[in-house]
Chain A
Amino acid sequence: MEGLLALTSGVLYAAGIYLMLRRRLAQLIIGLGLLSNGTNLLIFTAGGLTRARPPVLPDGAPALVEPYADPVPQALVLTAIVIGFGLTAFSLVLAHRVHATVGTDDVDDVGREG
């Protein structure tokens, strides 16, 4: 399972960086989104995967018994998802404004003196 998730995360990174190197703003934003999701998956995987053992104390038990899933990576990923969502929304608005101002979504044309 770790191998599969690591591979998926790697593919997301590669696709994200490839898209960020393209000239169109829309692709750049999709690239940023893929990159942030690849990172989330990486945090989740690197934190260690434990299946079907939630870190919940059963009734009457004094303490959790190993192995149980680590809740911290999930909290980290949740935070990162929220931040990533906000930033993607902002980038979309910015791209829209760039398009409205400059009239193109080609990164090279944005920099050209109009």
Chain B
Amino acid sequence: MRILVLPILVPLSTAAVLMLAPRRPAPQRWISLIGSVLLLASALLVFLRVDATGIQVLQISAWPAPFGITLVADLLAAALVVAVGVVGTATSGVAFSGVDPRREAFGYHPLLQILLMGVAGAFLTGDLFNLYVWFEVMLVASFVLMALNRTRAQMEAAFKYVTINLLASSIFLTALGLLYGATGTLNMADLARVWPTISTPGVDILLAVLFLIAFSIKAGLFPLFFWLPASYHTPPPAIGAAFAGLLTKVGVYALIRVFTLLFHSMSPALFGLLLAMSAATMVIGLVAALNERDFRRMLSFNLVGHIGYTTASLSLLTPGALAGAIFYVLHHIVVITNLYLVSGVLLRLRRTTEMTRLGGIYRDRPLFSALAMVPVFSLAGVPPLSGFLGKLAILEGTFDAGAYWVGGLVLVVGLLTLLAMGRTWADSFWRPAETPDFAPPGAPYLVAIASLSLLTVAMTIAAEPLFDLTTRSAQQLLHRDEYVSAVLGATP
């Protein structure tokens, strides 16, 4: 299926055109937006094809698997690539309300497209080494986007971010080297076939733990998440939105992929470890979010805490829990991206995101407040919004799997989220304050926030087809034969 390469090719071409185009804001912004819309369109095309005819495979340069690089799109990958298009379109759109001129002159738009390409590539690849390469593409773009400024806070954040991510990459690469030594292949489908035959005792668990550590750093799981809240609040809100929406999800996606494809029959201790890490992530993330007085830092901790939801469900490895996790990931991408954009408007209005200096926004800006209400309360899990449905799906999944304490924890953490988001709403929007606005919210921001809020509402209304989709996707992940035979052909 040649169209599989489009979600990678489109942002690459857009970035190339952007680098050749005049460095003035207007052409750069328009090309970037058109590129992102095309990316979204190509992702939808791939998704519809996968939805209609099953797993799509492209052997690059017609090298037969497992010798060449394979691109694979199953339902999970295709749905996530659509999410990349959505986040890309929203972040390129808000650039119209102004980007720091220095950033824009130094390649803000091409870098954003390269970031989108890296994320789309990571979702689509069927080869673990190729996944490493896409990780690096994505990381380098994010490094430069984060460091394109010279304030002290940004320098500090950028260095922490770069160091921990390079360390994670080294661990990932180490695991890849050992894995190749043990199995002689890095094609994921081929690995799924060969993995059970690793005979040396202890090698499989060593590899599993190395992958778990590497991907947990990327996903932001306890005790490896501290880099995230230390860095995500420093770049401009649009960049923060793209990072928050996509980068940690790539870590979660990688965890889902290796746990369903390779480690599914490993010892329960490994799943116990993932579950314990997820539980600690949920609790610590949300307690820290409650303690935070800055809107964006509060979001970072919320982001971390909710990653725990998805990985906890993954560790149960039942169709119900996995379907809930996928639903939650999709819901969370839209909502957290939207909330970072909301923080961008707050920054424009008051030049700060300190909640003690916000307030009065509900009275002064009713339209913006009404739009912002959707993601705030969806993340909080207020019925009937998508966050509530996602939590309900995860809760059902955990109860069906018999993991009652995980379900209980999900409820407790849900309450903490409600408290954190409710207090945020009261402090930032409701509380009377006599602070004047510095600048209006700007139409591009309002349009982007309105579109993402509408998407959240749509995901709420269309919850049944969406849940049907995630259920089918979970079954696809758990029935590995379909994936393996799609990639390797009928005679593996």
Contacts and interface: CB of A to CB of B under 8 A. Distances in A.
Contacts of A44: 177
Interface in B170-184: 170, 173-174, 176-178, 180-182, 184
B426 interface: no
B206 to A, nearest CB: 12
A42 B136 contact: no
A63 B49 CA distance: 40
B173 A80 contact: yes
Contacts of A91: 162, 166
B147 interface: yes
A72 interface: yes
Interface string B137-176: 0001001100100111001101100110011011001101
Contact of B180 (A35, A76, A98, A110): A76
Interface residues of B, number: 30
A98 B177 contact: no
B133 interface: yes
Nearest to B137: A83
Contacts of B181: 45-48
Interface string A94-111: 110110111000010011
Given A87-B140, A98-B155, A79 B129 contact: yes
Contacts of B176: 43, 76
Given A20-B167, A39-B170, A94-B162, A102 B152 contact: yes
Contacts of B150: 97, 100-101
Contact of A73 (B136, B151, B174, B180): B180
A34 to B, nearest CB: 10
A55 to B, nearest CB: 13
Interface string A37-78: 001001111111000000000000000000000101100100
Interface of B: 129, 133, 136, 140, 143-144, 147, 150-152, 155-156, 158-159, 162-163, 166-167, 169-170, 173-174, 176-178, 180-182, 184, 186
Interface of A: 20, 25, 28, 32, 35-36, 39, 42-48, 70, 72-73, 76, 79-80, 83, 86-87, 90-91, 94-95, 97-98, 100-102, 107, 110-111, 114
Given A79-B129, A94-B159, 11 more contacts: A20-B167, A32-B170, A39-B174, A44-B177, A46-B177, A48-B181, A86-B140, A87-B166, A102-B152, A102-B155, A114-B152
11 contacts: A35-B167, A39-B173, A39-B177, A42-B177, A48-B181, A79-B133, A83-B136, A87-B169, A94-B162, A98-B155, A102-B155
